[in-house]
Amino acid sequence: METPNPVSLSIRRERTLEKSVTRGIKEKIIALVLLGCALVSVLTTLGIILTLFEVTVEFFQEVSFAQFFLDTRWTPLFADQHFGIWPLINGTLLISAIAMLVAVPLGLAAAAYLSEYASHRLASTLRPALELLAGVPTVVYGYFALTYVTPLLRNFIPLDVFNALSSGLVMGIMIIPTVGSISLDSLRAVPSSLREAAYGLGATKMEVTTQVVFPAALSGIAASIILGISRAVGETMIVVIAAGQQPRLTLNPAEQVAAMTAYIAQVAAGDTPRGTIGYKTLFAVGSTLFLITLLLNIISYLIAQRFREVYD
Amino acid sequence: MQLTHQTSTAQGTSIISTQDVNIFYGSFLAVKQINLDILRNKITAFIGPSGCGKSTLLRAFNRLNDLIVGARVDGTISYKGRNLYAPEIDPVEVRRQIGMVFQRPNPFPKSIYENIAFGARINGYRGDMDELVERSLRQAAIWDEVKDKLKQSGLSLSGGQQQRLCIARAMAVQPEVILMDEPASALDPISTLRIEDLMQELKEQYTIIIVTHNMQQASRVADMTAFFNVELTDGKRSGCLVEYDKTEQIFQNPQQQSTQEYVTGRFG
Ligand SMILES: Nc1ncnc2c1ncn2[C@@H]1O[C@H](COP(=O)(O)OP(=O)(O)O)[C@@H](O)[C@H]1O
Ligand SMILES: [Mg+2]
């Protein structure tokens, strides 16, 4: 069977056991370059956080925590200054909640369909189509909300021109691929032996999907939802264009509200001079936004940890 | 009820019978021309070399092959005289009466209790769930080991315990037939013996078909044994049924030379 191969023998003769100097150096250089690339992103993030917090600290030297957290009005640029952050958080959370009410059911339904129901061929055509939604520029979604969805809805319900409802609905559509795509991957990762076990007991497709596959994929699904919320909270264009500029404490989706990102975009686009309190509010709001997103990331990490050992 | 094709009428009545069954994966003929009667309340062993289509045939008995794209059965497989592949037959109902235990233990990532309750619940069981869970776990000889940790994940058990949990799970839906595809191949010898003992007890109430690679196991547990082999036709390999008879007959007085070689380990 094993006829000696003259080519491999000639290679064999040149082999040594000593370390090669050039290879060692090459490997070191490659490692350093890779490290450098990794550091660029870490350092950039650190830099952003430092600038953010530096000005935020200056902000809190002028405005007390009580003013920031206990006041219910946000009017830092008016003569009657108030620095209560809640109206902005309210705007962000209201719109995000509406968005998730759209994105979670539709995203999960799409994922369930593509993973459990559609044929392989259909799924591989539909998936890119679904993901295309994520490629639409957000400014397009914004104008879609303002010039199409709002007028359409106003035929049925009284709405402000700028309102939380249409921004939330359109943002939800934008987030469907985020929820759907990641959930789809985690549904597909569920071992088919579990499906067979359930079918073997006489389960219907619906029972297999909802009672076996979904629970087994829960960590991925939870992660997809949290990521979706992060996108909603951080989304700027849609809320700037379609939700309004008026910070209000309200749960009424028909009203106009201001999201944190919308406030930042509005002030940053104007000519608020450096060093003024108006300028510093940008950083205080930015830090709040950052902390919310960080919190969401931590939650998603913990969820992933908690369910990690589910099937092995 | 179809009794005409019965191999050994003296042995009992048939519950599943196949006539000229061919099973394809796409255009590949995996098993061909299977004619056999499975006897009620007996243990039937399927033996034969890897790839001869034992799993394929077994999965055709409860229409689990429906899940595989391109898999197709022709000929007739009847269960209590009804053609399982007739258009009016619901595969979900078939699987409720013909249960399955797989080669690798595959408990759900749920609690031990839920593993058992799941099947009963989807089958519309209305009785006392605690009682059913206990009865099924007792039947599968695993109750004593798990009774204090019913809330723990089924995956926290050892391989042998997981397989017995899977057997309990299959029994909780009260099928008439249990198909077992090499249920002991991933288990240690002690767990294997426990599962064999279990099968002896279960055959009072169930009909069992077991695929096994282990000759001793087949001769220990089975009443009837079917030997399958791979046959070459036009360069394609298809599985076929070589010999089917009482287990003693297959092991002590096989009629075919290839059966003789296989059961004595001189195969290949
Ligand atoms: N899902 C499948 N798709 C295509 N071919 C398959 C599939 N499952 C099994 N086969 C083929 O069918 C033949 C019989 O396989 P199998 O029933 O698993 O044999 P056994 O259980 O006797 O080892 C083999 O040639 C195998 O490669
Ligand atoms: Mg097999």
CATH superfamily to which A86-306 belongs: MetI-like (1.10.3720.10)
Does B181 sit in the ligand 1 pocket, CB within 6 Å? no
Q: Identify which of B95, B107, B155 has the shortest CB distance to residue A200.
A: B95
What pairs with residue B16 in β-bridges? B38, B79
pLDDT at A219 over 90: no
Interface predicted TM-score (ipTM): 0.91
The string of pLDDT tens digits covering residues A169-185 is: 999 999 999 999 999 99
Residue that the structure tokens 């650190």 belong to = A46
A contacts of B99 (beta carbons < 8 Å): 200-201
Residues 83-102 of B with CB under 8 A from A: 92-93, 95-96, 99-100, 102
- Asked whether the beta carbons of B178 and B166 are under 8 A apart, the reply is no
**pTM recorded for the entire structure:** 0.85
pLDDT at B66 over 50: yes
Contact: A202, B95; criterion CB under 8 Å: yes
- Whether the CB of B220 is below 8 Å from some CB of chain A: the reply is no
Q: Taking Cα atoms as reference points, which of B46, B108, B37 lies closest to residue B78? A: B37
Please state the domain extents for chain A: 6-62, 86-306
Which atom of ligand 1 sits closest to the CA of residue B59? 17
B contacts of A208 (beta carbons < 8 Å): none
Nearest protein CA to atom 7 of ligand 1, as residue: B25
The string of pLDDT tens digits covering residues B12-50 is: 899 999 999 999 999 999 999 999 999 999 999 999 999
Task: Find the DSSP H helices in B31-158.
Answer: 54-61, 91-97, 112-122, 129-139, 143-146
Q: Identify which of A119, A196, A312 has the shortest CB distance to residue B102.
A: A196
Task: Find the DSSP H helices in B123-238.
Answer: 129-139, 143-146, 159-172, 189-202, 215-221
- Asked whether the beta carbons of A173 and A141 are under 8 A apart, the reply is yes
* Terminal Cα distance for chain B, rounded: 39
> Chain B residue closest to A196 (CA)?
B64
The overall average pLDDT reported for chain B is: 90
Which atom of ligand 1 sits closest to the CA of residue B53? 17
> Which residues hold their Cβ within 5 A of ligand 2, which is an ion?
B 55
Does B30 sit in the ligand 1 pocket, CB within 6 Å? yes
